[in-house]
Amino acid sequence: MQVNDIHPLLPDPGEFIQIQERLAKQIDVSRPFRCKDLRTVAGVDLAYAGEGESETGFCHIAVFDAATMQVVERAEAVGKIEVPYIPGLLTFRELPLVVEAAGKLETVPDLFLFDGNGILHPRRMGIAAHASFFLGKPTVGVAKTYFKIAETEYKEPEQEKGSYTEITIDGETLGRAVRTSSGVKSVFVSPGNGIDLDSSTKLVLSLTGSESRLPVPVREADISTRRMRRSWEEEQRLDP
């Protein structure tokens, strides 16, 4: 697929926040997206190995046929992580590998689901929101853990599948804690771009099976990045 050239993938660190603030003004989370219009959906995840200057990242994108829930294509990228971990600026670590993997796809997914946040972020620019500008498609963030913003806590939803509570910060609802399966931990859903919160929630619920609290495409990407990391670590042991 064609990936947009929005800004340098490794900009000057002094520009990180300026880039986020500029792009945040262009985000649109008002558009409905009907489940029946979804033909292909991609799950995106990243994993890491090593630390410091020797840290390596692994990105996997798994594209599913939304009708059959079968994988139709995969793409991967592996590379050195050039940006240190800084809270709120995680995207700049991950974006180069996401863009590289997406550029290898022949299928153009209708929607990308990220293991991470969308606008549930201090500057409304989690990985799902930021990456949307490069991908040119609607994106949704599905995070396994809560990223606390402005000391705002969240309320756990009821235990039944489909229950949710809203996460509102400074008068703006940025996401939801969603129970995707009865009796399991919540996930944190937020739109990235090109889709509204209601549609994001419905799609996440419709794409989640009984085997995991994560939507199937995200779960597959998560499993695959861990497999990539294990293979790389084994190669390092055999050829130090």
Question: Are the CB atoms for 146 and 157 separated by under 8 Å?
Answer: no
Q: How far, CA to CA in Å, does 24 sit from each of 28, 137, 170?
A: 9, 16, 16
d(CA 20, CA 17) in angstroms, rounded, equals 5
Closest C-alpha to 152, from 166, 138, 139: 166
Q: Which residues pair with 139 in a beta bridge?
A: 112, 193
- For the record, the structure tokens of 69 come out as 């829930």
Identity at 214, one-letter amino acid code:
L
CA 228/CA 240 separation, integer angstroms: 18
Q: Residue 233: in which H helix or E strand, if any?
A: helix 216-238
Phi–psi pair at 171, nearest 5 degrees? 80, 0
Contact 179, 164 (CB under 8 A): yes
> Do the annotations mark residue 37 as ligand-binding?
no
Amino acid of residue 32: P
- Residues annotated within the binding site are 45, 115
- Residues annotated within the binding site for Mg(2+) are 45, 115
